[in-house]
Amino acid sequence: MSAEIISGTDIARQIREEVAQKAREIAEGAGGVPGLATVLVGEDPASQSYVRMKNRDAEEVGFRSRQIDLPASTSEDELLGWVEGLNADPDIHGILVQLPLPGQISEARILAAIDPMKDVDGFSPVNVGRLSAGDPDVLAPCTPRGIIELLVRSGNDPAGRHVVIVGRSNIVGKPMAALLLGRGRGGNATVTVAHSKTKDLSEITRLADILIVAVGRPEMITADMVRSGVVVIDVGVNRVDDPSKERGYRLTGDVDFESVSQLASAITPVPGGVGPMTRAMLLSNTLAAYVSIEGLEA
């Protein structure tokens, strides 16, 4: 069997068009435009490129976007000051503080300071709690929301199926499990979460109808670890040295695409799988935040 490729590029484009259409309808009706603010502390090149793309995406769907770039030496109190300013700014409906933050800043303190109604990443403790309690209207993290859309829109609804997640991060693994366990769209799955301390990982991954991998280790999932017909979602984006490329590296996922795609029924590529979906769901969350802050019809 050779797997169907689940194109995040195509599905993300659809979602951006839906968001842009809804934003146009609102602008023509009630008036007003959603505003997204991104905050980047430091000069990590990958983070700089992610943040730039998020702002560009926002402008392309007709949102207002504001990019705040702060030096790596920024103190926690200074960053808190920026977050409080954005919380109070009526033109801003979504706030995203790019992670990771430099060591002198407590991520937990910053995330807790973001107004939960503007928390388009879904990382504030209020929203983490609401997601865990199964609140259907919560702003949920963008990568897991994007994966739900990839699965449902590609005809692989997780309802009733055994989903194995490899990775237990706050950004992907844990919220992914919460969404899959929920009763809403893309939920109602049976969920197992494995991680770096799991014994006999391949015995667990082989049980998966749907395998979601978010560990940040290049090509660690190999063909012997999956069963025939599995649906594979690869969240990893790893830079691997490759002198044959002009930029000196290539991007690869956490899954050995070459071998696993021979067995899987469907699989996401890297790049062009989960990455574009994360960005599209940020737009969707920003629109949802705008609708709820402004008291508009959903």
In the complex, the smallest distance separating the C-beta of residue 141 from ligand GUN, rounded to whole angstroms, is 7
Residue 234 is among the residues annotated as catalytic for this protein:
no
Whole-number Å distance between alpha carbons of 25 and 147: 27
> What residues numbered 241-280 form the site for ligand GUN, per CB under 6 A?
278
Q: How far is CA 182 from CA 137, 187, 190, in A?
A: 12, 5, 10
In the complex, the smallest distance separating the C-beta of residue 50 from ligand GUN, rounded to whole angstroms, is 7
Do the Cβ atoms of 194 and 201 come closer than 8 Å?
A: yes
> What residues numbered 273-292 form the site for ligand GUN, per CB under 6 A?
278
Whole-number Å distance between alpha carbons of 31 and 84: 26
In the complex, the smallest distance separating the C-beta of residue 108 from ligand GUN, rounded to whole angstroms, is 14
> What residues numbered 70-129 form the site for ligand GUN, per CB under 6 A?
96-99, 121
Q: Considering the complex, state which of residue 120 and residue 151 has its C-beta at the smaller distance from ligand GUN.
A: 120
Whole-number Å distance between alpha carbons of 145 and 132: 14
Strand ordering across the sheet containing 35-41? 64-70, 35-41, 94-97
Q: Considering the complex, state which of residue 22 and residue 54 has its C-beta at the smaller distance from ligand GUN.
A: 54
Do the Cβ atoms of 199 and 179 come closer than 8 Å?
A: no
> What secondary structure letter does DSSP report for 291?
H
Which x/- pattern over 170-189 shows residues binding ligand GUN (rule: CB under 6 A)?
-x------------------
The two tokens of residue 257 are 């695409």
131 lies in the site for ligand GUN, by CB under 6 A: no
Residue 121 is among the residues annotated as catalytic for this protein:
yes
Q: Which of 22, 54, 118, 174 is catalytic?
A: 54
CB atoms within 10 A of CB 210: 22
Residue 98 is among the residues annotated as catalytic for this protein:
yes
In the complex, the smallest distance separating the C-beta of residue 69 from ligand GUN, rounded to whole angstroms, is 14
Q: Which of 121, 234, 254, 256 is catalytic?
A: 121
In the complex, the smallest distance separating the C-beta of residue 260 from ligand GUN, rounded to whole angstroms, is 24
Burial label, 64 (beta-carbon count in 10 A; 0-12, 13-18, 19+): middle
**Residues identified as active-site:** 54, 98, 121
| Residues found near ligand GUN in the complex (CB under 6 A) | 96-99, 121, 142-143, 171, 278
